[in-house]
């Protein structure tokens, strides 16, 4: 068993680090070894237009403080996975491994561009449309949970700490819109082969936000990746907590348990994914 490694949790788009609190509490993870990051604009004090280089610089200063010699494991959800991959590419000697949950590697996720995305990107209609939609979503606990149900079940939505809603209410909508537009226009697919750190991709079989096939492409392409398929949607750490905790705990304690399959031999269909990433020969 490996000794405890420092951990950094990165949430997804329109989330705050509060979404990880139930998982951190369940696993009784040592707070002294944890860092929780926020995406651009998702902190009320971050009111500037999103710039990925600025975000990476600030994140690295928090994750890799002076005097820290241990490598850090990044646990990332959705868009947080995209930024976790950027961090791993820029700081390969400081990252021990990546746990990517429902992660995207490019903003379009293999889907056609929607009208809503074009409106969001417009500097004429975008600011007003985004601000109105944002206020409506966060106006009450009820509206908050209804909005979350676009990505997860009603039961899972009810477990998201209200701290997340309260924090997001205070955020600058133009900073948030700029972060969203950056995601929609960004892809790291061409860089995956260069990211040489162990990766565990936790894929929800019923994820309709980031299609499982999109996540499988990441697992097939990154040289040090293996997959774990769960019977869940986009937030498996809330929807299937027992199975998720087992996968994460095993990875943190033992790391990759079997020789990594070369990309040429990687599964081409979801049915071929290993349901458990541990215990193999």
Assess contact for 35 and 7: CB atoms under 8 A: yes
Strands, E assignment, the chain: 7-10, 34-36, 72-77, 95-101, 199-204, 225-230
Q: Name the CATH code of domain 7-272 (choices 3.30.70.1070, 3.40.50.1820, 1.10.40.30, 3.40.1190.20).
A: 3.40.50.1820
Structural domain spans, the chain: 7-272
CA 246/CA 252 separation, integer angstroms: 10
Q: What is the pLDDT of residues 132-158, one digit of tens each?
A: 999 999 999 999 999 999 999 999 999
| pLDDT bracket for residue 125 (50, 70, 90) | confident
| pLDDT bracket for residue 276 (50, 70, 90) | very low
What sign results for the dihedral spanned by CA atoms 191, 197, 201, 202?
negative
Give mean pLDDT, residues 79-99: 95
CB atoms within 10 A of CB 274: 15
Rounded to the nearest 10 degrees, what angle do helices 141-148 and 126-138 cross at? 110
What sign results for the dihedral spanned by CA atoms 246, 249, 252, 255?
negative
pTM as predicted: 0.88
């Amino acid at each position: 068993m490996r000794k405890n490694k420092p951990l950094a949790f990165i949430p997804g788009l329109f989330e705050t680090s509060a979404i990880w609190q139930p998982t951190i509490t369940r696993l009784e993870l040592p707070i002294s070894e944890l860092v929780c990051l926020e995406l651009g604009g998702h902190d009320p004090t971050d009111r500037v237009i999103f710039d990925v280089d600025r975000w990476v610089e600030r994140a690295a200063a928090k994750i890799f403080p002076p005097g820290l010699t241990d490598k850090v494991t990044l646990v990332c959800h959705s868009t947080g996975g995209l930024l976790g991959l950027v961090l791993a590419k820029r700081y390969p000697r400081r990252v021990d491994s990546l746990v990517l949950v429902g992660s995207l590697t490019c903003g379009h996720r293999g889907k056609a561009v929607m009208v809503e995305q074009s409106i969001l990107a417009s500097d004429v209609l975008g600011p007003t449309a985004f601000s109105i939609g944002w206020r409506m979503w966060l106006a009450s606990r009820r509206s908050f949970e209804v909005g979350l149900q676009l990505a997860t079940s009603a039961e899972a939505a009810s477990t998201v700490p209200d701290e997340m809603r309260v924090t997001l209410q205070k955020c600058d909508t133009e900073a948030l819109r700029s972060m969203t537009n950056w995601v929609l226009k960004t892809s790291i697919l061409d860089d995956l082969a260069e990211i040489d750190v162990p990766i565990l991709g936790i894929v929800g079989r019923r994820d309709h936000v980031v299609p499982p096939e999109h996540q499988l492409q990441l697992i097939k392409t990154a040289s040090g990746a293996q997959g774990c398929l769960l019977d869940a949607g986009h937030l498996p750490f809330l929807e299937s907590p027992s199975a998720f905790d087992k996968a994460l705990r095993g990875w943190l304690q033992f790391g990759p348990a079997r020789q990594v399959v070369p990309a040429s031999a990687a599964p081409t269909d979801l049915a071929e994914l290993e349901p458990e990433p541990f215990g193999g020969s």
